[in-house]
Amino acid sequence: MSKRVTINDVAQAAGVSRQTVSRALNDKGEIDAGTKQRVLDAARELGYRPSRFARGLVRQDTTTIGLVIPDLLNPFFTEVAAGALEAARARGWHVIVYDTADSVDTERGTLEVVASQVDAVVGYFSLDEAELDTHLSGLPAVLIGREHRTPRFSSIRIEGAAGVREAVDHLVAKGHRRIGMLDYAGRAKPNSRRAWFADAMAAHGLADDAVGGAVQSVDGGTEALTSLLTKHPDLTAVFTFNDIIAIGALRAARRLGRTVPDDLAVVGFDGLQLGTVVDPALTSVALDTRRVGALAIEQAGRLLTDSPLLPDEELQVNAVLVIRESA
Amino acid sequence: MSKRVTINDVAQAAGVSRQTVSRALNDKGEIDAGTKQRVLDAARELGYRPSRFARGLVRQDTTTIGLVIPDLLNPFFTEVAAGALEAARARGWHVIVYDTADSVDTERGTLEVVASQVDAVVGYFSLDEAELDTHLSGLPAVLIGREHRTPRFSSIRIEGAAGVREAVDHLVAKGHRRIGMLDYAGRAKPNSRRAWFADAMAAHGLADDAVGGAVQSVDGGTEALTSLLTKHPDLTAVFTFNDIIAIGALRAARRLGRTVPDDLAVVGFDGLQLGTVVDPALTSVALDTRRVGALAIEQAGRLLTDSPLLPDEELQVNAVLVIRESA
DNA sequence: TTGAAAGCGTTACCAT
DNA sequence: ATGGTAACGCTTTCAA
């Protein structure tokens, strides 16, 4: 790496002082047009580029937020990221996107780095709060889609009980009685979506006995539905942990010769744009993903400026049923 | 924004000097265990977080690369981004992702900011080189999927002539003679893909008269194929500018009662993972998108360190035909 | 219009 | 083991 060209080099080349160079480069006025041009020429000549660190040190106004997501290739996270980027841009903030490659180890490493690179962090984390705290060493953080127990963190809550209830209501209204679920296989503890579904089924007095686990991928959904239907061939509808799995389920149904929605109704969760691309278009309990990202940024901003935080009820994003073609 | 806690505050609280604080926080050794603990406690107590600017200023080793893409929601760019992130992480570099919202104005604004935030930039730009240069003011830049004319820039070239030729060969081998193309409508000048297709058709002595323009979206593809088939109902196959448009075409074919691939063969371009999700799975002239991102990062790194640049022939990514179900 | 001096918060180097 | 001093590169007073 060749030695860095500094403002002093430019000053010397142009035969002026540093401060004059600074003025010329920042359009400060109070400078002779000729001098300015001379400085600009010298700067270009030398390939001078101001150090962002030195600049940041002096003017403390650059806010950078870290956005941590498990997988850039998962459209759900991309949609959330898009919302966050948009909200951040509106405030003139920067966003550094970190992809933890869905691995806990990578997450640890990432957090270590994140902590020294940004002013606040928002996103999806899998570490527990205690460990998160040690890696983050005081960095303001907003957890998405996950409750926080310690006041140390803030979080955006996904509320889907009503939406899932809507979905089951819809299925029941269509005459379905045997409704299964494709849950997420990767998580040890029972998750909210599973519970929401159980509640909704109970409300209709229906048996909630046909539940399979799916890996978080299209292929995972395909495999999971195939084996679920083997065990429970009488199912006429299935609710899935998310749209990715649902899309895999769509494919499995097709391969098994079941027409969707006539022979099997499928309802996903998330309401991804991707769901409009497949055929039949996916009926889904939809989240406003952009809003999720925007809220996280908003709250991070408040954390950063010690402004009053958003109240809990505003930190919640409600899912609603979006009926398309698959159910 | 409350006043910043500096290393001096911690030093004072712990009753030691700045340097000692620095040692304690950076695990430097040469420090008494008790002192270290005292410093750590004080730091935690005060909520001290080192300034990344001051740090960056003194240790000149943090490399940050800007990745500019038109649209985070477009899976093609996401795949490239994933490749870039991975390559950057392997080198211990940071990547800031910028989304230009597919707008030239946003691109201008973004570049202005980018220039003062990163050490180098890679990505997709729509501005011409002259304007790019003024906004970037000397920042090393790697343009993806686009030739550069001035030595000022470097670029990653997408070479699809052979792949498209393969695709047309394949279609012809299957008996197709009337093959149309859904080109990208947004670009004024004839683009490479259009030319590659024309050449491939010419090589077979086939008429290249059925070409429509599509907006860059699934809906765009649907509309475009619909109108193309209205004009040229005799088409039995169609090649599209990219997979997104191809997926829209798939949907249009279905709506028009044409079975794919029997009544109409469809070949996309890009080879997105998304193409395996739709039904029938998309046959496509595929690019190694991860490699595109990785190459861009590699070249940016060389630009940055004044290492010998990658030679032109290595800066090229070749597309190859991937046969799935749609053709 | 221009320049000199004083920081911004941190780490490296050299004493002690 | 600890502290003093000098950078790092830039912008912001304040004088001239």
User: What pLDDT is recorded for position A1?
Assistant: 46
Report CA(A105)–C1'(D2) in Å, whole number. 36
Which helix (H) or strand (E) segment is B41 a member of? helix B33-46
CA B256-B260-B264 angle, 5° bins: 75
Q: How far apart are CA B277 and CA B80, in angstroms?
A: 19
The H or E element containing residue A66 is: strand A64-69
Minimal Cα distance from B65: which residue of A? A96
- List per-block mean pLDDT (blocks of 10 residues) for chain A, which spans 327 residues: 79 90 85 88 88 85 88 94 92 85 86 84 94 88 89 92 98 98 82 95 97 94 97 98 97 95 97 93 97 96 89 94 97
pLDDT of residue A235: 98
Strands A283-286 and A320-322: antiparallel
**Distance separating alpha carbons of residues A62 and A56, to the nearest angstrom:** 7
- Looking at the DSSP bridge assignments, the partners of residue B97 are B67
Determine how β-strand B283-286 pairs with β-strand B320-322. Answer: antiparallel
Burial (0-12, 13-18, 19+ Cβ within 10 Å), A143: buried
Read off φ and ψ for residue B264, nearest 5 degrees: -155, 125
Write the single-letter amino acid at A124: Y
B99 contacts on A by Cβ (under 8 Å): 82, 85-86
Max CA distance (Å), chain B: 86
Locate A292 and state its tokens.
């999720």
Nearest residue of A to residue B4 by CA position? A60
The CA–C1' separation of B325 and C5, in angstroms, is 73
Listed by number, the residues of chain B in 297-316 with a beta carbon closer than 8 Å to a beta carbon of chain A are: 304-306
Q: Minimal Cα–Cα distance from B140 to chain A, Å?
A: 10
CA distance B242 to B285: 9
pLDDT at A112: 80
pLDDT of amino acid B1 = 46
The one-character DSSP state at A312 is: G
Q: What is the pLDDT of residue B189?
A: 67
- Amino acid letter for position B224: A
| CA pair distance A116, A123, nearest whole angstrom | 16
pTM: 0.88
Cβ-Cβ contacts under 8 Å, B49 against chain A: 115, 137-139
Contact (Cβ atoms closer than 8 angstroms) between residue A167 and residue A286 = no
Q: What is the pLDDT of residues B315-324, one digit of tens each?
A: 999 999 999 9
Half-sphere CA count of B270, side-chain side, radius 13 A: 23
- Chain B residue numbers touching A93 (CB-CB < 8 A): none
Is residue B7's beta carbon less than 7 angstroms from any atom in nucleic acid strand C?
Answer: yes
What whole-number distance in Å separates Cα of residue B210 and Cα of residue A317?
48
Q: What is the DSSP letter of B77?
A: H
Q: State pLDDT tens for residues B150-191.
A: 888 999 999 999 999 999 999 999 999 999 999 999 766 668
DSSP code for B183: E
Q: Which residue from A277, A317, A327 is spatially nearest to A163, judged by alpha carbons?
A: A317
CA-to-CA dists, residue A312 to A285, A308, B45, angstroms: 22, 12, 27
Interatomic CA distance for residues A17 and A28, integer angstroms: 15
Tell me, yes or no, if A97 comes closer than 8 A to chain B by beta carbon. Answer: yes
> CB within 8 A of A151, min separation 6: which ones?
none
Cβ contacts of B320 within 8 Å, gap of 6 or more: B162, B163, B166, B285, B286
Residues of chain B with pLDDT under 50: 1
| CA dist list (Å): A24 to A4, A39, A40, A61, A247 | 20, 7, 7, 21, 57
- Write out the two tokens for B161: 């002539």
B193-217 as b/e, with b when 16 or more CB fall inside 10 Å?
bbebbeebbeeeebebebbbbbbbe
What gap in Å lies between CA B200 and CA B204, rounded to an integer?
A: 7
At residue A244, what is the residue type? I
Supply the pLDDT for residue A299: 96
| Candidates A53, A78, A139; nearest CB to B49 | A139
